[in-house]
Structure formats: C-alpha cells, structure tokens
Structure 1
Amino acid sequence: MTPSPTPTMDEARPVRTRIWDLPTRVFHWLLALAVSGLLATGFLGAMEWHFRLGYLVLALLLFRLGWGFVGGRWSRFAAFVYRPRSILAYLRGDAHPDHLIGHNPLGALSVFAMLGLLALQVGTGLLADDEISNVGPLSHLVSGAVASLATGWHAERGKWLVIALLVLHLLAVLYYALVRRHRLVGPMISGDKTLAPPAATVAKPSRDDAASRLFALVLFAACLAFALWIGSLRS
C-alpha cells in the first residue's frame, strides 16, 4: 500500500482568500441598516420613511436574486444550496471543506429563510391597505379581503418573525465567535477569510474586480429604478 504523501509546508499553511466580493458585502450591510430602519419607522409610525426604506429593501432583494446567479463564486446560490444529506453530515460534525469557506449548511438555511421572509414582508407591504392613510402601491390590484390579509400579516405576524430571525442571526454570530472560534463579521467587512487545510486547498477565490463591481452597480441601479417605479404607483 502506497503511503499518503505528506503535505508540504506551503500546502499546510493557512491561505488568505477573497470569499465575499464587494457587492455582496455592501448588500449585506445595506440590508441590515434598511431592515433596522424599517422596524424603527414602523414602531414609530414614520410611514413615509417606512415606505421609502421598503422600496430600498425591494431593490436590494431583487439585486441579491440576480447576484445569486452572476456574482462572485461564494455569493452564488449554487455555492450554498446543500442537499439534506450534507446538512445532516454537518450537524453530526462531519463537515465538508466547502462548509468552512462560504455559508455553512445552517448559515445557508438562515440566508434563504431571511431572504424569503423579507420578500414576503415587502410583498405584503406593497399590497397592504389599513383603510386610513397607509396604502401600498399595488393594493388597487387586489380585493379588499386580500389587502386586509396582507395588512394583518405585514403589521403583525411578519414583523415579529423578522425580529425573531434577526435575533437568531445575532445569537448564531455570537455562538460561532465565542464557542466555535469562527469569525463571521470580519470577513463580511474585509471580504477575505484565512483558510486552513483542507479548505484552503479547495477554495477558489471569488471574482471581485473592477468590471464585476461596475456590473453590480448597473444591476443595482436597474433594481432600484424598478422599485422606485413601483413606489410611484402609490396613490
């Protein structure tokens, strides 16, 4: 039996790798600020700003949908759509090297849950009508019963689910930092992760050059223009 080759010093050395491209990082922090602003304005009753921030979140979600197919290597949905078998293996402690690079299986579920819930929250906001003064720009396209259901979800159940997911997200970040010694915030600021073998040997860096950043800017501008057009339909 041929013995396995001993890793060389270069192969065993941790490698600093670009994981999160700049558009993904900007999206992440803008979404965090916008959702925080939405919750604050909703509780304070500052509805004009609530609507404006809602259109911004709509634009951000549309951008992330597109960027999930054309963005950097680890920002693409294909990089963190895991099979149930892979999720179970991660929970058993049998992590694949890919789990240590971008979003791990639990992080991926959190991302999809947050994006889906925010999309539902924005959608119901666009259809909502409280029959007083706050009318979503698309409420005229649905019946009064549907608008009432959308209003109830948006103002009550959906809002508290968003808050619950945000709290779980923050707790997970603290858990990984304090217990697993896995820093999540730093790479989302710098874009880089220091990866040890075997993850370092399989991690391909995300594209993050001037051309991809310019394309992301154009894509976001188109998404923002669409969101503002939707907002212009508000009577």
Structure 2
Amino acid sequence: MSQPVKVWDFAVRFFHWSQLLLIAGLWYTGEEGLMAQHQLLAYTLLALIVARIVWGFVGSDTARFSRFAATPLQALRYLRRPYPVTGHNPASFYMIMLLIALVLLQLITGLATFDNSYLTDGPLVSVLPSAWVDVASAIHKININVLLAAIAVHIVAAIWHSLRRHNVLWVMLSGKDSQAGDVSPGLKHAGWFFLLVALLLTSLYFWQGAKLMALL
C-alpha cells in the first residue's frame, strides 16, 4: 500500500463535519421551538455554505466542482463498478449538488417563515406578501424531511462504501488517502475560506444576529 497522500484541505473537512452538526442542531432547535437559537444556527450554516460554494470555484483542486463534475453515464458506470478516486467520485457529485440545493432551499425559505412572533419571524416575513410567506413556510416544513432523507441516504452510502470499497469516512476525517497514488492534488491554504466565513458571519450578525443574541 502506498503512503497516504493529503487530498482534502481543512476547509472542506471543516465544512463537511460542521454542516452535519449544524443541521442536527437546526432540527433539534426547530422541534423544541428554540427559535432564536434555531436562526443563529441557520445564519452560521448560511455563511458556511456560501463560503463552500465560493471555495468550489477558487479553492483547492479537490474542492472545485469542475474537478468532480460528471455526466449521469459516468456516475452510473461508477456505481456499477466503484474504484478509488482522489477526492469526490463521479456519483457523489449528484448527491453533493442535491444536498447543497436542499440546504439552500431550507435556509432561504426559513428567511420567509412565519413563527407567530414578530421577534423570531423570518426577516423577510414583514416585506413579502402573506401568500408568499405561507408558501415559504409550507416548503420549509416539508423540505426538512426531504433533506433529512437525503442525508440518511448519503450516510448509509458512505458507510457502505467505506466498509466495502474505499474508506472515504476516514479520508474525510484525516484528509489523507492511502489509495490516492503518488500525485498530490493542489491544496490551498484554508485561511482564505475561514476569512470569507468570518466576513459573512459578521455581515449576518449586524443584519439579524445582534437582535437574536439579545433574546438568549
């Protein structure tokens, strides 16, 4: 077995695992009616996912969407006969795009969701027609179940793949892959990613965060 090669930068790994924790926290706070905490977690996730999208165009080689974009035929061929891939495999491209779309839909509809309290209503509730707010609120309630189902499929697939083919869970934890070959992908310093996250969080704090923090 060849020596492990670093294939994931810290930005991608931090985003991956923190997103999982934030979604779990969002589900819990939403179920318990802890709306100030719920919105603070949502703004944190919004900052992270926007930064990840930007990193998908300007970040490390393995973080870039163009690196692992695949046609449906390539994805099907991979599923029929999986093989080790440096970074994301062809099939995971579609799951990643689905998860990003579902998370963004959840966050955007949350901004326009009515909560029976002017203090914790979504910030767009007061500026949108009531019919739009009703639609956004309905989508927000339905989409979380779709999102959780997609996450469950993703987790099961990752565990199965790790046990049977390629330990992608450990690779995402450690950043290193012993099946990547001898060529290391070009990785960029994660500091730029976290600087962008900090700027986004600061903007969101001055927009809505200060008001929510006062409710805690």
Whether the aligned pair in 2 keeps the contact of 1:73 and 1:204 (CA below 8 Å) is no
Name 2:130's counterpart in structure 1: 144
State the AA in 2 paired with 1:221: A
SS in 1 for 2:122: coil
Q: Taking structure 1 as reference, are residues 24 and 37 closer, same or farther at Cα in structure 2, changes over 3 Å only?
A: same
2:185 is equivalent to residue 205 of structure 1: yes
Superposed counterparts of 1:72-87, under 5 Å: 72-87=60-75
Q: Secondary structure at the match of 2:111?
A: helix
Asked if 1:120 is matched to 2:105, the reply is: yes
Aligned to 1:231: 208
Higher mean C-alpha displacement, 85-94 vs 157-166? 85-94
The match for 1:14 is: 2
Q: CA deviation at 1:23?
A: 1.0
2:173 is the alignment partner of 1:193: no
Per the alignment, residue 198 of structure 2 pairs with 221
Shift of 1:104: 1.0
1:167 is aligned to 152
TM normalised by structure 1 equals 0.82
Q: Is the 8 A contact 1:137 1:232 kept in 2?
A: no
Partners of 1:40 and 1:167 lie apart in 2 by: 16
Q: Relative to structure 2, which stretch is displaced further, 85-94 or 14-23?
A: 85-94
Q: Structure 2: how far apart are the matches of 1:77 and 1:167?
A: 23
In structure 1, list runs of 5 or more residues that go unmatched: 1-12
* CA radius of gyration, larger in: 1
RMSD between superposed Cα atoms in Å: 2.1
Distance 2:125 2:14 in 1: 31
Native 8 Å contact 2:111 2:124 kept in 1:
yes
List structure 1 segments (4+ residues) > 4 angstroms apart after TM superposition.
Answer: 232-235
Identity %: 30
Contact map agreement 2:12 2:63 (CA 8 A) in 1: yes
Q: In structure 2, what is the equivalent of residue 3 of structure 1? A: none
Return 5+ residue gaps in structure 2 as ranges.
Answer: none
Aligned residue-pair number? 211
Structure 2: distance between partners of 1:140 and 1:233: 18
Question: What SS does the aligned partner of 2:147 have?
Answer: helix
Conservation of the 8 A alpha-carbon contact between 2:110 and 2:136: yes
Change (3 A) 1:178 1:232: closer
